[in-house]
Amino acid sequence: MQFEELGLGAEVLRAVAEAGYKEPTPIQQKAIPTVLMGRDVLGVAQTGTGKTAGFTLPMIDILASGRAKMRMPRSLILEPTRELAAQVADSFEKYGKYHRLSMALLIGGESFKDQEAALDKGVDVLIATPGRLLDLFQRGKILLADSKLLVIDEADRMLDMGFIPDVERIVSLLPRMRQTLFFSATMAPEIRRLADKFLLNPKEISVAPPATAAATVSQYFQRCGQEPKMKRAALRRLLSADDVKSAIVFSNRKRDVGVVHRSLVRHGFDAEALHGDMPQPSRMATLDKFKKGDVRILVCSDVAARGLDIPAVSHVFNYDVPHNAEDYVHRIGRTGRAGRSGTSVTLVTGDDRKTWPAVVRLIGRDVEELPGDTEAAPVPTRETREERPARGSKRRSTRSRSEEAEAKPARKDKSGGERKSRTPAREQEGQAVTAFGDDVPAFMLTPVPNV
C-alpha cells in the first residue's frame, strides 16, 4: 500500500516523502483513513510501530482548515513524559512543514511565561503532559472547550505513572462532541475501562509490537557480583569494547545514574547523565548532544527509555535488571532502530534471581551469556564451572542449568569414556563451599540466579 491511497492531502504527502518514508506502516494503514473519517480510534500499539505519524498526519489535514482562538486550543495531545511530548512536537514540525499550524508544548520544567505567551496567540495543536496542563488550567490560562480532537497517547504508561486521575479530569473539561484517539501498548482492564469511558464507537486497531528489538538487537547478559564497585568495573570493561560506538546505560535508581555517571567520567569515559529530576532545559540539551553524537555514553533512568527515537545507538547496557520486565523491552528498543543492528548487555547479579527470569520469560527467547570476570562473578557453582565455555569461545544460553544438563550428553574424555569430575563430592551434592572460613564475602554466598 502507498501513502497516496490513504486520503491524505498533497502537502502532507510531500512532507512524508521528504521524511524518506516509502510506505505506510500497518498502524498507519489502519489508523489514517479512520481518523480522516472522523471516527474514534482505540489503537493497541507500541512506540516503534510508526503510531505517532499514524495520528499526526491525519490531524494535520483535519486541522488545516479553521482558525484557533486565543487560549482555546483546537486539539490536544496528552503524553506521559516531557521527552515523548517533545518528540511528538518534532513530528508535527516535520510533517506539518507545508502547513501553517500553530503548536504549543506544555511540559513541566519549562517557563510558564513562554507557554502562556504561546497559548495567548491561539494554538491549533497543544501537546502537553497532564500535570502542567492542569496547572495552567487552574491559573485560568487555558480553556479546553474548543478542543474537538483529543489524543491520549501511551495510556498504559499514564497508568503506571499515576496520571489517570489527571487525565480523567482533563477529559471532563473537553467538549462531549469530539473525536478521540486513544493509544496504549497493552489493554489491561483499567485501560479498557478508560477507553470505554472516553471513546464513542471506536475502531479498534491492534498491531504487533515492532519486530525491531527482537530481530535486530543481539541480546546478552553477564553475571556480576552485586557490589556497586564490581558492577561499575564490569560496565567499564563492557564500554571499552571497540565496537561500542554510542551507548545508553540504564540504571533503576536516579541516585545510581549520578554515581555511575561520575564514576565513568572519572575513568575518562565521555558520558552524560539523564534523569527525571534534572531541570527540563538541561534534559533536552543532554539528549540533543547525544543525538548529535557530541557525547558517546548516556547514563539514564527509565524515564528516557520509553519511546525515545535516537537512531544510531550501537549498544544498550542494563546496569541493573529493570524491576518491571516490560521496561527491558523498551530499554533495548533504544538500539537496533530503523533496521540497524544493535547490541544489549545486561548485568545480572544474585539480587536478580526473580527479575531476570521474568525478563527472559517475557521476551520468550534465550539470552546468551557473555563470559564475565570470574573474580567479579558470584562464586560459580559446579555446573557453571564445568559448563562455562573457555574465555573467548563465548556464550551460554539462559536455559536453566537442569534443562541444559538434560540437553547435553555426558562429556567424554579423549578415549571416549566418561570424564571424571574433579569437583569434590561435597560440592557435587550441592552443599555450600566453606573453604573461605568466616571470611566469605556476603555476595559470594548468594545463590546464582537460576538463569
Question: CB under 6 A: which stretch of 50-58, 230-238, 247-255, 347-355 binds ligand AMP?
Answer: 50-58
* Alpha carbon 11 to chain centroid, angstroms: 32
H or E element that contains 281? helix 280-292
Between CA 290 and CA 293 the distance in angstroms is 5
Q: In whole angstroms, how close is the CB of 215 to ligand AMP at the nearest point?
A: 15
Q: In whole angstroms, how close is the CB of 331 to ligand AMP at the nearest point?
A: 15
220 binds ligand AMP (CB under 6 A): no
For the CA atoms of 132, 133, 135, 137, what is the dihedral angle to 10 degrees?
170
Residue 381 C-alpha cell reads as 557453582
- Closer Cβ to ligand AMP, 15 or 448, answer by number: 15
219 binds ligand AMP (CB under 6 A): no
- Closer Cβ to ligand AMP, 142 or 207, answer by number: 207
21 binds ligand AMP (CB under 6 A): yes
Q: Quick one: which of 6, 8, 12, 24 contacts ligand AMP (CB under 6 A)? A: 24
Residue 214 C-alpha cell reads as 527482537
48 binds ligand AMP (CB under 6 A): yes
Question: CB under 6 A: which stretch of 41-49, 148-156, 201-209, 343-351 binds ligand AMP?
Answer: 41-49
- Closer Cβ to ligand AMP, 320 or 326, answer by number: 326
25 binds ligand AMP (CB under 6 A): yes
- Closer Cβ to ligand AMP, 153 or 369, answer by number: 153
- Closer Cβ to ligand AMP, 45 or 191, answer by number: 45
CA-closest candidate to residue 101, choices 82, 132, 122: 122
53 binds ligand AMP (CB under 6 A): yes
For the CA atoms of 317, 320, 324, 325, what is the dihedral angle to 10 degrees?
50
Q: Quick one: which of 29, 47, 180, 216 contacts ligand AMP (CB under 6 A)? A: 47
Q: In whole angstroms, how close is the CB of 31 to ligand AMP at the nearest point?
A: 11
Q: In whole angstroms, how close is the CB of 29 to ligand AMP at the nearest point?
A: 9
- Within 277-296, which residues bind ligand AMP (CB under 6 A)? none
Q: Are 125 and 87 in contact (CB under 8 A)?
A: no
Residue 129 C-alpha cell reads as 503532559
- Closer Cβ to ligand AMP, 21 or 98, answer by number: 21
- Closer Cβ to ligand AMP, 44 or 224, answer by number: 44
336 binds ligand AMP (CB under 6 A): no
Q: Are 200 and 40 in contact (CB under 8 A)?
A: yes
Between CA 196 and CA 190 the distance in angstroms is 10
Residue 296 C-alpha cell reads as 558517546
184 binds ligand AMP (CB under 6 A): no
30 binds ligand AMP (CB under 6 A): no
309 binds ligand AMP (CB under 6 A): yes
Between CA 121 and CA 116 the distance in angstroms is 9
Between CA 19 and CA 206 the distance in angstroms is 25
- Within 382-441, which residues bind ligand AMP (CB under 6 A)? none
CA-closest candidate to residue 58, choices 87, 82, 29, 85: 29
Note the helical H segments in 51-129.
Answer: 51-63, 82-95, 112-121
449 binds ligand AMP (CB under 6 A): no
Backbone CA torsion sign across 245, 250, 251, 253: positive
Between CA 287 and CA 280 the distance in angstroms is 11
50 binds ligand AMP (CB under 6 A): yes
Q: Are 204 and 222 in contact (CB under 8 A)?
A: no
98 binds ligand AMP (CB under 6 A): no
Q: In whole angstroms, how close is the CB of 103 to ligand AMP at the nearest point?
A: 17
Q: Quick one: which of 6, 8, 31, 52 contacts ligand AMP (CB under 6 A)? A: 52
Residues 6+ apart with CB under 8 A from 390: none
Q: Are 94 and 15 in contact (CB under 8 A)?
A: yes
Q: Which residues bind ligand AMP (CB under 6 A)?
A: 21, 24-25, 28, 47-53, 307, 309
